[in-house]
Amino acid sequence: MADEPTAAAAAPADSQGAAPVSDAAPDLPANEGFEPEIIVFACHYCAYAAADLAGSMRLQYPSNIRMIKLPCTGKLEVIHLLKALEAGADGVYAAGCLEGECHYLKGNLWAKKRVGYVKKLLEEIGVDPGRVEMYNMSSAMGPQFAQTARDFTARIRGLGPNPVRPRDGFTAHEVVVREMGALAMPDDADTPPSA
Amino acid sequence: MITAERKPFDEIYAMTEGHDKVLVAGCDTCVAVCLTGGEKEAEILAAQLRIKAKEDGRDVQIEHTAAIRQCEWEYLDAIGAKVEEYPLVLSMACGIGIQSMAEKFSPRLVMPAVNTNMLGMPQEHAVWLERCGACGECVIGETAGICPVVRCSKSLMNGPCGGSHDGKCEVTTPEKEDIECAWALIWERLKAQGREEMMLVNRPPKDWSKGSSGGPRKMVREEAKPV
């Protein structure tokens, strides 16, 4: 798994235009000392592989990212996004395949609609809808994975801590993985259960 | 099926004021099929309420449950033990289910979290259209299987009126754009059935007392009553 990259040296910008690597964006507006916990629901076929590629490329991205591997973002339910926030995640995003390239045809489009719906639910309760987002990438887009992680982390730093973060000693990642049960694929699983 | 829409969040949240234990109760029949009040939606509403309450610094225990059908005593028995733990229940069932809950668990407070709106069908995925007004005296045998009571904006028994244009009703609102003229539909289908003469049948004023205008209705099947 590639969510804890080890290379400290900044990788050169590659042909796909990845920005120079840094944990902290230079223009952080506020909450500089705040380290958000960010849950990423990543599709097995694309974003998760892109994270692996980012690791192989020794690209660095914030360790704030905590990944949960799904067979497809189409399996992501509205309640999973809400539960992640309720469990204290400061931000949550789904990372699925490029539109039109879903392994299951339309799973990423369903996820996009559900993320949009969750934004509405959050507006209703006065939580900034920017705390949830949908991204698309292919398995070849390691630099974009890293850049997305940096961008989103910077956004959440700007928004500040989740106001309802519980103090029960569990990370949001632990709580969500526990509640999702078999739906969250083990990190070392190579094949989705249904494939 | 019976369809319903969730009430605005602020209205629901206001119902929880002053309570420290709240149960959101879904119903896994009609309102689950119309994606409004099944167990999934009850869980989502409970999560929303919990987050909002935490934001507001309130110490409220909010859980969810669901009955297979809230409108039958037997299914309410199945969730009775859990309901008894909560002084306030927010029911996401249709009006029938909410009233069944309120009666079964009286004097517990049972509040509606949805607005029941119609007897409709999913015309396509996630789009529901009204199809029946439960008027107590069905006429669709004469009208080619199309209900003039709820599908004609004026509930005309002898249509169409002068407001029918190109198959569309003159009644148009942002929420109800492009209402099809029921009587235009009736005419087209009667033609397809070779029953055009049915358009000439003069229907006398409808006896609305058989519908909700006649007071609360009651149905008894003596032969089916337990011995």
Q: Do B114 and B142 share a structural domain? A: no
Percent of chain A predicted with pLDDT > 90: 66
Closest Cβ–Cβ partner in A77, A125, A163 for B48? A125
For chain A, the domain total comes to 1
* Whether residue B183 sits in one domain with residue B107: no
Cβ–Cβ below 8 Å for B48 and A124: yes
What confidence tier does A30 reach under pLDDT thresholds 50, 70, 90? low
Bridge pairing between strands B2-6 and A91-96: unpaired
Q: A121 near A82, Cβ under 8 Å?
A: yes
Query: Is residue A152 a contact partner of residue A62, using CB atoms and an 8 Å limit?
Result: no
The tokens of A44 are what?
């097995």
Mutate one of A75, A82, A106 to test the B interface: name it (highest B CB count within 10 A): A82
Q: Which residues pair with B122 in a beta bridge?
A: B128
Three-state DSSP class for A181? helix
The residue out of B66, B84, B118 marking a domain boundary is B118
Q: What is the pTM of this model?
A: 0.87
Of the given ranges (A19-23, B47-51, B113-117), which has the lowest mean pLDDT? Answer: A19-23
Q: In what order do the strands lie in the sheet with B109-112?
A: B61-67, B21-27, B88-91, B109-112
Does some domain include residue B86? yes
Give the structural domain span for A86.
42-179
Residues B31 and B80 in one domain: yes
**Is residue B226 situated within a structural domain?**
no
The DSSP H or E segment spanning B23 is: strand B21-27
A interface test, pick of B48, B52, B60, B64 with most A CB neighbours within 10 Å = B48
Residue A13, pLDDT > 50, answer no
Instruction: Provide the ipTM.
Output: 0.88
Task: Say how many domains are in chain B.
Answer: 2
* The pLDDT of residue A142 is above 70: yes
pLDDT tens figures, B159-181: 999 999 999 999 987 777 789 99
Is residue B40 pLDDT above 80, yes or no? yes
User: Is residue A53 in a domain?
Assistant: yes
Q: Are residues B93 and B152 in the same domain?
A: no
pLDDT at A6 over 70: no
Structure confidence at residue A146 (pLDDT):
97
Assess whether B149 and B76 both reside in one domain. no
Q: How confident is the model at residue A32 (pLDDT cuts 50, 70, 90)?
A: low
Domain membership of residue B14 as a residue range: 2-118
Q: What average pLDDT does range A153-167 have in this prediction?
A: 90
CB-count burial class (<10 Å; 0-12, 13-18, 19+) for B10: exposed
Q: Closest approach of chain A CAs to the CA of B114, in angstroms? A: 15
Query: For residue A25, what pLDDT is reported?
Result: 46
Q: What integer pLDDT is reported at residue A189 of this predicted model?
A: 79
